[in-house]
Amino acid sequence: MFLTGRFQPHGQTVLLELRRQPPSGSPETRASTIRAGDRMQESFPTSRDDPGGTAARSIVVAARRGLGDLAGSGPGRLRHWGACSVRLPSELNRAAGAGRVDHRSGLVDHRSDRPNPAAAAGSLVGTEWSRLPTTQKVVALTFDAGNNDGGVASILATLRATGTPATFFLNGRWVQAYPTDARQIAADGYSIGNHSADLVHFGTLSDSEARQQILEGAQIIKSVTGRDPRPWFRSPFGDLDARTIKIVNSLGYGSIFWTVGTQGYLGTSGGQSVSSVVTRVLGSLQPAEIVILEVQANATDHSTLDADALPTIIRDVEQRGYQFVSLDQFMLSMGPK
């Protein structure tokens, strides 16, 4: 069996300890000190008391605050593997404590590591973030899902391969049209936000209509993915005003705008290219930048420029000394609320 992962501590070093406990005999331990951006692999030999014979299973262990994922696979039965634990520096333990630990398996369930919705929404009352409230060199990649799913498979593959956290704003009708994609986004543990039920201009809606769009969007997302999208909301066209922001806040959400849009959704037929998408993101690069990308393929030329540009964006942003955070991770990094 082997365990392998890529880790992105925020300028920190962590000690990763892996322990294999066979059905009989002494436990075997592997420990590695991992620095930002490191890749590691640890191997455990199989033995007669830990036979193969079942399909490979995947284990995901997250280390909080964007430290990345540890992915493991192997032929042994999952129940034969003991604890996989991540020991964090003391200053990170508070954030780690926000997650749920399965004490039977010793695995940390990173998908339950969510900020307190009321506290997060409270920090956004009467306003919306066009950048994260920090001076740290962090960038939030946010993906809007509202039209089609042409770029989803590529985007998820890139995020997995690079260990990059991200946030997805899911539109209710999109979730209904592409439930498998929505479930995969949720299963992979990315932050999820509410993108309303329909692609509507909120400025044209009455108060009751706006409330219904938000509530129905949340209901669809929860029924399909099992995830509550609170506290994150983004209107389909980014056209909230003081009246509609107040409605958003009253339902337990904070509104997320953006620092830069890639315009990749315009496609090659709209004069865009992979190069133009990358240039737009890097040209505005600054601490706390929120980038908006689309999961769709262009309806006319079927290009998926945002998905195609994503590997270069991640590489070039990291080379400039920045780190990526999801909205959930960022909120948790601000400490207990």
Q: 3-state DSSP call for residue 288?
A: coil
CB atoms within 10 A of CB 54: 13
Q: What tokens appear for 272 in the block?
A: 């865009």
For residue 289, the model assigns a pLDDT of 98
Give the 3-state DSSP-derived string for 143-190, with helices as H, strands as E and coil as C.
EEECCCCCCHHHHHHHHHHHCCCCEEEECHHHHHHCHHHHHHHHHCCC
For residue 27, the model assigns a pLDDT of 53
**CATH top class, domain 117-333:** alpha beta
Please give the backbone phi and psi of residue 293, each rounded to the nearest 5 degrees, phi first.
-125, 165
DSSP class of 37: T
As a whole-number percent, the residues of the chain with pLDDT over 70 amount to 63
CB contact at 8 A, 71 and 51: no
Q: 3-state DSSP call for residue 192?
A: strand
Q: What tokens appear for 76 in the block?
A: 């042994």
220-264 confidence digits (pLDDT tens) = 999 999 999 999 999 999 999 999 999 999 999 999 999 999 999
Hey, where are the domains in the chain?
Answer: 2-112, 117-333
Reported residue count of the chain is: 337
Please give the backbone phi and psi of residue 229, each rounded to the nearest 5 degrees, phi first.
-75, -10
Distance from first CA to last CA of the chain, Å, rounded? 40
For residue 29, the model assigns a pLDDT of 53
- How far apart, in whole angstroms, are the C-alpha atoms of residue 66 and residue 9? 6
E strands, 163-305, are 167-170, 191-194, 232-233, 254-256, 260-261, 289-294
Beta bridge partners of 128: 255
CB contact at 8 A, 229 and 193: yes
Query: In the chain, which stretches have pLDDT less than 70?
Result: 1-121, 335-337
